[in-house]
Each structure stands twice: as structure tokens, then as C-alpha cells.
Chains A and B, each alone.
Chain A
């Protein structure tokens, strides 16, 4: 009887975990417009990985295959052999989405800052999804393009601010 309750509890826990994953996915811009059913399809092709504290997820220059979504824990994104900190990411954040479209090596390193759970969405799975479910695939691609566009806009803003700063500094010097 105890076993039955144990199994039942495990099943409930598993269901809860799966609902949590769907919940995390629904907050990621790439998957925001998807229905519950489509989210379940995406969830089935994701890989779940666990990383220890200080474990490297990928190094700058490594082969890049897709994006990572933080299920739990923290990640440090650095470049130039860990000398420059680019970002610190937490639960629900995502990174590496450019590798879904691009074959070039990783432009930064990612290291776990605590025991971290990751959901990994990779290019082969996306290509496979486009082939067997073109509508869902195009929805994801559209949102992926939008996300990358938003990042580009934000980078442009930062460049503009930096330029303005440099020009003001140059005027002051003159």
C-alpha cells in the first residue's frame, strides 16, 4: 500500500515538474505564442541536463548547437577566458539562441554558479520539427527572428550610447 502511495506521489511530482517546464517555456519569447498542445510537443524534444556548481556548460570557441533555458540555478556568461563578465542569468532566462541559426563557434563561455538545471533546445530538433510540423516550426522561427531582432536593437542602442559618450568625451578634451 505504501508503495502505491509512493508511486502515486512520484507520478504527481512528475506531472508537477512537467507543468513547471511548460510554465517556464511559456515565458520564453521564442515559445510565447504557442498553444498548450504545441508547448507539449516542444517539451518532448528538449533535453534536460543537470550541472554542478562551477561546471562549464560551454566554452568560448566551442561548437554551438542551440539554446539553453535555465530551469533552476544561476549562470555566468563570460568572454576572453573568463576575464570579462558579460551577464549573470537566473531561473527562466535563456542564452545561446543564435546557435539555432548560425554554425559559428560560441562567442562566450557559460559556467554554472550553483547546482543548475537546464532545458536544451538544439538545432537538429528544430530542423526536425520544421520538417514534421511546419506550422509550429515557422511560429518558433518567427519568434526566434523577433528575439534576435530585439537583441540587435538593444545592441544598437548600447552602441549609440557609447558613441555619444565617446563624442562627448572628445568634445570635452577639445
Chain B
């Protein structure tokens, strides 16, 4: 008995050391890990497309090449059509806002706040100056976070490279991994992979389609209302929609600020809020039930905490990746506990 517990203790200690070393190694190469995670998520999203091409009698390699050909074509169209628009909008955002109407509205707001909140010690707020600074900073932030030349070039080369091989040889990688799992856990490991593939795969594909639809709806709605930077706002709203709770509100808030500064009144802002509410309702009632169905279900509090922790650790990228990663952990832990309780995984 004492011997057994000593062996168990050594095993647990060795396992803990291995986990600590793995975590230390992964945090040391965190930038590469981030790229691999993004590539794996993209490969998950694109995998059914490769299966579709394969079902049309294509080899896996040719199916993967075809997907990349489609992506390159799409990227070329975006580069030629959307990119100049986006770039012009970011440049305009960087230079700040100067319309007189906006200045008047903000001054009115400042006067109102000073008059009504003087008991709180509110005196001079310099709202217009602060707003202009933050808008210019927002432009810089977009440039530094998303359009950093060095990281874009590295990512543009590395991510497609990893995605290509994950789609083409994903099954072989999985088979090679499973082949080193001991017989005792072999079938359960495959079961876990199966659950992850269906639940996380459905979740990621659903989120991707959902974000695209919300982005397109937002671009169209902002263009219809006549808001400046409608492409930038739409793309931002679509991407922000990937972050639960905070995303849709942030997207709407950005559009409201732009509309107030653009028109100098609150009437257009009201239209913007109505448009975003309608998009959100459509998304919740029609799009989400169709595209995100049959995926991993997570409690709202879990999602919220995951987003906060992800944001704290890795910024915006962390917020985007936190939900699928939390879903991944949930499936692994839930299935392990469930099967341990139900079947004892395997009695040796």
C-alpha cells in the first residue's frame, strides 16, 4: 500500500513537472503558439470545404490547393476593393475630427455636464480636445495592432503555411498523435477528438459565418444611414461580434460616436442605435440559432470570465481566442469527468 502511494506520488510529481515545463516552454515561444492557435482555428473553419472538394473526387492535396486559390482570389478582390477604402478611412481617422458642428455639440454636452454635475466637483472637462486625441489614438492603435508591417509579413507567410499543412495532413497528424497514446486510453482519446471536432468545429465555423453576416449587415446599414467610415465600422462590428457581450455594444458605440461627430446631432445616432438593435435581434433570432447550433454550450458567466481573462493576458487577440479555448477546455474536462464517472475510463 505504502509502495503504491509512493509510486503514485512520483507519477504525480513527474506529471506536474512536465506540465510546468510545457507551460514555461509555451510561454517562452508564445508568439509562435499564438500563430499556431490562429492557424489551427482557421484550419478548423476551412476543413469542411476541403471535405466538400474531396467529395467531388479531388485528392486532399488538390482540395487544399483549391481552397488556397479561392482565398488568394478573395484576398486580391478585398485588397483591390476594400483595402483602399479601409486605408483611406484609417488615415482620415488618424487626422482626427474638425467639423464645427461636432465641436458645438460636444461643447453643449460639456456645458450641460458642468452645470448639472458641479456638486460632484465637475469643472472643466476639455471633452472636444480629449475626443480628438482619442480618435487619433484609435487610428494609431488600429495601425499598431493590426497593420504592424513586420508582424503582418511574418503572419502572412507563417499562418497560411501552417494552415495548408493542417488541412492537408491534419488526419495524419491526429493519427500519429493517437498512435503514441497507450492502449488503455486510446479509444477514449479518439472519442475526445471526435467530440472536439464536432463541437468546437461547429462553434468556430458558426462564429465565423455569424461575424461575416453581422459585418456585411453593419456595412450596409451604415452606408444606408450615411455614416462616414462605414466600411471600417462594419468590419470592426463584425470582428467585435466574435467577442460576446462586449463586442456588439462596442461596435454600436463606435458608430454612435462617429455619427455624433459627423452630423453634430443625435438624430443620426438614434438611427444608428436602431440599426444595430435590429441587426442584433436578427442575429440572435435568425442567424445564431442556425449557424451556432450543435456547438459547445457555455454558461454566460464562463464566457464573460474567459473573455476578461483572455483580454487581460493577450489583449484583443486573447479576447477573440478565449471563447473557443474555453470551449475546448470545457469539452475535455466535461467528457473526461463524465466518462470517468460512467465507465471509469478503463480498469487496467
Contacts and interface: CB of A to CB of B under 8 A. Distances in A.
Interface of A: 45, 47-49, 51, 55-59, 61-65, 105, 122-124, 128, 131-134
B190 A65 contact: yes
Contacts of A128: 51, 171
B221 to A, nearest CB: 36
Interface string B304-348: 000000000000000000000000000000000001001100111
Contacts, number: 57
B187 interface: yes
A64 B48 CA distance: 25
B175 interface: yes
A49 B197 contact: no
Interface residues of B, number: 25
B220 interface: no
B175 A47 contact: yes
Contacts of A133: 54-55
Contacts of A63: 187-188, 191, 339, 342-343
Contact of B190 (A56, A59, A122): A122
Q: Report whether over half of chain B's contact residues are helix, strand or loop; otherwise say mixed.
A: helix
B183 A55 contact: yes
10 contacts: A49-B183, A55-B183, A57-B183, A59-B347, A61-B343, A62-B343, A65-B194, A122-B190, A128-B51, A133-B55
Q: Report whether over half of chain A's contact residues are helix, strand or loop; otherwise say mixed.
A: mixed
Interface of B: 48, 51-52, 54-55, 171, 175, 178-179, 183-184, 186-188, 190-191, 193-194, 197, 339, 342-343, 346-348
A131 B51 contact: yes
Given A63-B339, A132-B54, A133-B54, A49 B346 contact: no
A31 B67 CA distance: 31
Contacts of A61: 343
